[in-house]
């Protein structure tokens, strides 16, 4: 961690906590980004699991409009279930999920329209 005059005045225990949290944030991102790609690919497929995945991702995008029923996870195979958990952890980083994807807002809006008609 780079020390500045401001961080030099902070207690070592606080700096250690910041460093640990940054490491956890990076671990969530390292695991979550490939998992997000897996889910997006599956959501765009014509497979039977695609709708459940779109609903999961829309729930992260706008939970008040797209509440997610957890029993939908049971309809996913193990790889997709694990990817969903990793993407949920990625969401804890405080950054909106769609911002990790180029054109993410348009993609999620397209799913919004598609699922609204279903």
- pLDDT of amino acid 40: 98
What confidence tier does 13 reach under pLDDT thresholds 50, 70, 90? confident
5 pLDDT more than 70: no
Residue 9, pLDDT score: 66
- Rounded CA gap, 94 and 74, in Å? 26
| Domain locations in the chain as residue ranges | 9-117
Q: What is the mean pLDDT of the chain?
A: 91
**Alpha-carbon Rg of the chain, whole angstroms?**
17
User: Using CA atoms, how far apart are residues 100 and 29, in angstroms rounded to an integer?
Assistant: 10
User: Are 104 and 56 a contacting pair, CB within 8 Å?
Assistant: no
Q: Tokens for 108, please give them.
A: 């999620």
12-39 burial, b if ≥16 CB within 10 A, otherwise e? eeeeeeeeeeeeeeeebeebbeebbebb
Q: What is the pLDDT of residues 25-57, one digit of tens each?
A: 999 999 999 999 999 999 999 888 999 999 999
What would the pLDDT profile of 63-111 be if each residue is shown by its tens digit?
999 999 999 999 999 999 999 999 999 999 999 999 999 999 999 999 9
């Amino acid at each position: 961690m780079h020390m500045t005059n401001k961080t030099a005045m902070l207690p070592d225990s606080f700096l250690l906590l910041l460093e640990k949290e940054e490491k956890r944030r990076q671990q969530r991102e390292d695991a979550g980004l490939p998992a997000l790609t897996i889910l997006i690919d599956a959501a765009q497929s014509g497979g039977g699991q695609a709708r459940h995945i779109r609903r999961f991702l829309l729930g992260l995008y706008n939970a008040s409009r797209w509440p997610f029923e957890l029993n939908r996870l049971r309809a996913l195979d193990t790889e997709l279930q694990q990817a969903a958990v990793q993407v949920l952890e990625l969401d804890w980083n405080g950054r909106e999920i769609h911002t990790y994807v180029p054109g993410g807002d348009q993609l999620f809006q397209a799913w919004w329209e598609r699922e609204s008609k279903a």
